[in-house]
Amino acid sequence: MSAMLETPELPAVFDGVKLAAVAAVLYVIVRCLNLKSPTAPPELIYQDSALARFLLKSCPLLTKEYIPPLIWGKSGHIQTALYGKMGRVRSPHPYGLRKYLTMPDGATATFDLFEPQSEHCIGEDVTMVICPGIANHSEKQYIRTFVDYAQKNGYRCAVLNHLGALPNIELTSPRMFTYGCTWEFGAMVNYIKKTYPQTQLVVVGFSLGGNIVCKYLGESQANQERVLCCVSVCQGYSALRAQETFMQWDQCRRFYNFLMADNMKKIILSHRQALFGDNMKKPQSLSDADLSKLYTATSLMQIDDNVMRKFHGYGSLKEYYEEESCLHYLHRIYVPLLLVNAADDPLVHESLLSIPRALSEKRENVMHVLPLHGGHLGFFEGSVLFPEPLTWMDKLVVQYANAICQWEKTKSHCSDTEQAVSGQE
């Protein structure tokens, strides 16, 4: 009798379990997708100046809300994963010419050159010199999308292919790209300056490329000649300070570290003969034992220590990271500099963002832009689920470059007017 009385209560118990399970799943989804995070305009750090005020007026994206796709766009991990696996959606295929440059050590640098598809907004000849992210090149979808958009806005684009990154281009010296080597980028820039003596330059770097372009500009004042501005997106500024965070599991950085290391291993091993073979003069410090260590490496730091630093003869990993980071060169950049990061970038620890913040608070030519969302080179836009082909990042870089071009033209016009007035007097 008592059993019969208890039976009707069982469905209620099961319903409670189901509700608890559904609630738990919803809680996990909300947390993982960061759905409760608000949308807001990016945080801007800058010195009050005539240039900054002009930029705020001329670049609506700096003061407008960045709205990522509703369902998944507030997750830095999903933004990063989509960038990594998919690049962009419906990516165009801009047509360019591949150029080959022989370096002093016998290496063959390559870059792709894309001509503008319309007249520039100021009617001038302006070239974007672009340095992609780690192990990337002009054929990556995010680069193709950005180049196509820049071409349509009147920019010529020159895109560096990192040494060893293109699968169909063999190495002609026992050396690959490294974290901060500027040789190939400098050779590309010099080619553009020589071939187009009237052109002015907009320097753009993505992730690792941001480190390279900033270091290049800061290495010499001559490197900043004919440069209108520089834009760096999602770089970490200091490899030495970043290495510790890359070994931590929060924000899954240790997992990302493993994935990037695995990709680097594949690239290095695809050039095994050029780098480790006996038929070429490899660096004296690079041995077959390093090749054995490469097979078992599970982090970028292990690869850098056993292989990458030895391409340039660095005695230690610390020396390599110190010398190849742009950290000590940023204060030597005098052209307008836009530093863009995302607050939810899982690869760039928040402690590293103190570097661009401090620089922007001291230098009038520097502005740091920090949206809440975007991940690492994601910055997708869209209403609910499906992202748009163009990202917030693509639009911001071109909008900023357009504003700087207008700023320089305005300054030039004012200078000409003043000279005319003084001549009449």
Per-residue pLDDT of the chain (425 residues; tens, 9 = 90+): 444 445 555 566 556 555 555 555 544 555 567 778 888 999 999 999 999 999 999 999 999 999 999 889 999 999 999 888 877 888 899 999 999 999 999 999 999 999 999 999 999 999 999 999 999 999 999 999 999 999 999 999 999 999 999 999 999 999 999 999 999 999 999 999 999 999 999 999 999 999 999 999 999 999 999 999 999 999 999 999 998 899 999 889 999 999 999 999 999 999 998 888 775 566 656 777 888 899 999 999 999 999 999 998 999 999 999 999 999 999 999 999 999 999 999 999 999 999 999 999 999 999 999 999 999 999 999 888 889 999 999 999 999 999 999 999 988 766 555 554 455 55
- Name the residues annotated as catalytic: 207, 345, 376
Q: What is the pTM of this model?
A: 0.90
Please tell me the predicted confidence (pLDDT) of residue 90: 85
Residue 311 φ/ψ, nearest 5 degrees: -60, -30
pLDDT score of 3:
47
pLDDT at 14: 57
- Give, in order, the Cα–Cα distances in Å from 187 to each of 86, 145, 159, 184, 256: 30, 24, 12, 5, 32
pLDDT at 21: 56
Side by side, which strands form the sheet with 337-340? 43-46, 366-370, 337-340, 227-233, 200-206, 126-131, 156-161, 108-114, 97-102
Q: What pLDDT does residue 280 have? A: 54
- Compute the distance between CA of residue 234 and CA of residue 28 in angstroms, rounded to an integer: 28
**Residues sharing a CB contact under 8 Å with residue 175, sequence separation 6 or more, in sequence order:** 105, 107, 163, 275, 283, 311
C-alpha dist (Å) from residue 407 to 59, 123, 228, 229, 395: 12, 14, 10, 11, 18
Query: Which residues fall within 8 angstroms of residue 324, CB to CB, at 6 or more apart?
Result: 178, 179, 180, 181, 211, 215, 239
- Residue 120, pLDDT score: 95
Closest CA to 175 of 104, 237, 97: 104
User: In whole angstroms, how large is the CA radius of gyration of the chain?
Assistant: 25
